[in-house]
Structure 1
Amino acid sequence: MSLVPFSQACENNKAPILEAISQAFSSSNLVLEIGTGTGQHAVYFAQALPHLTWQTSDQAGYIDGINAQLKQACSQGDRATDNLSPPLILDVTQPWPLSSHQAGIDGIFTANTLHIMAKEMVEAFFIGVGKHLRTQGNLCIYGPFNYAGNYTSESNARFDTWLAQQDPRSAIRDIEWIVQLAETQGLRLVGDHSMPANNRLLHFVKS
């Protein structure tokens, strides 16, 4: 039996994130979450956005924890499970395992992933988004970013040092590079929202 994972950071940021994505995904039908992690965001957002289906996904090592989170929500009678799909095993550098009924993805969400990924994984992420997100679909990315090569806070600078110590391929990404990668896939930045703890919520639309 898998333990139900928990992240305090997810609890702290879920309400501000929801406020931003509820507008971005107001007309979406199927949202794919890349890097579902503990599953806390998925349960919270699916409950708050009953008009859409929330498709969870992550690398293989996280799947048991996500399933435990969804099972707990179901056992508590949480209606979020009605529009919350079991996790897909998804590695952004490999073909995305989307079935024919998942071809209508008009929303993609990811939180605290791009600074963990190696640069080539970030590039693969955007290639996947460009391939699978429908025209006029929305992409929302939450996390820390640098602007004009500069940290937005001392805490982000310390966090970046810590990331490099964990894995030298990880780093806070420059917003200009992220926007460039997005534009190569037909994505246009339409919103850059301030979030708690010196994070941002980037909203792109595929044209």
Structure 2
Amino acid sequence: MLLSPLAERNWEDVCSVLEEVLENQSHRELFALELGSGTGQHVTRFAQKIPFDVKWQPSDIKDECHESIKAYIAATKAKTVMQPVHLDASESWEKWAGIARNSCDIIIAINLLQYSSFKTAEGVFSGAGQILRQNGLLMLYGAYAINGIITPSSNEDLDAELQNMNAEWGLPDIDVLRQLAYGNGMRMERMIEMEEYNKCLIFRKF
């Protein structure tokens, strides 16, 4: 079982946003896909805390993450969390673990695009445009640039650190993501300021 101190710090704030954006759909069963579930801390916490009827599908590309997610599911006895699937968001949606078109109510990705190439960002929006239902939501959490500008200095340092780890990584630009969304049948509905200079971006499929 892996432990992410960052996930322990931010899960509650992210969960509050999730509750708020899903509240008007809480009268029916919802299907949620998490991209890049990592340790499994977020998805199992969400399943425990959110009072709505949500079936959660965690996913990741790493085998060690799958084992950790399974351990968290077992430890928390989270009956609404499905077993993790292998999913590479940079691939076309047809390879997204057999998830059907128009089947998801919400897709969530926490600190995924910052640790990914632009091809993954393109894949996330392309895939979301296919597998989200009409009015379905894509929710992204993390630190971002806005129109090429990164603030404050701590986020500049984070961007430099990420690019030192991998030249294709770094803080995505919200304006670029907005264009990707529109090209895939979604529009950015809200940008919510979060702790530690992070943001939640909410995109809706139209």
**Structure 2 unmatched runs, 5+:** none
The amino acid that maps onto 2:58 is T
Give the secondary structure class of the aligned counterpart of 1:137: strand
Match in the other structure for 1:67 = 70
Farther off after superposition, 176-185 or 91-100: 91-100
Match in the other structure for 1:54 = 56
Give the secondary structure class of the aligned counterpart of 1:138: strand
Match in the other structure for 2:96 = 96
Identity of aligned residues (%): 29
Match in the other structure for 1:169 = 168
Question: Which aligned segments of 4 or more residues in structure 1 are displaced greater than 4 angstroms?
Answer: none
Query: Shift of residue 25 of structure 1?
Result: 2.1
Deviations 1:115-172 (A, max 9, x none): 1110111111111111111111011100111112111211100011110111001010
Query: Shift of residue 11 of structure 1?
Result: 1.1
The amino acid that maps onto 2:165 is Q
Give the secondary structure class of the aligned counterpart of 2:201: strand
Give the secondary structure class of the aligned counterpart of 2:202: strand
Change in Cα spacing, 1:99 to 1:178, as seen in structure 2 (3 Å) is closer
Distance 1:194 1:159 in 2: 18
Query: Shift of residue 109 of structure 1?
Result: 0.5
**Structure 1 unmatched runs, 5+:** 75-80
The amino acid that maps onto 1:167 is N
Q: Confirm or deny: 8 A CA contact 2:102 2:134 kept in the other structure.
A: no
Distance 1:65 1:150 in 2: 36
Distance 1:25 1:98 in 2: 24
Q: TM-score, normalised by structure 1?
A: 0.90
Query: Shift of residue 105 of structure 1?
Result: 1.0
Give the secondary structure class of the aligned counterpart of 1:106: strand
Distance 1:178 1:188 in 2: 10
Query: Shift of residue 98 of structure 1?
Result: 2.5
Distance 1:93 1:172 in 2: 17
Q: TM-score, normalised by structure 2?
A: 0.91
Does residue 16 in structure 1 map to residue 17 in structure 2? no
Q: Confirm or deny: 8 A CA contact 1:60 1:90 kept in the other structure.
A: no
Higher relative contact order, chain-length normalized (CA < 8 Å, sep 6+): 1
Change in Cα spacing, 1:203 to 1:53, as seen in structure 2 (3 Å) is same
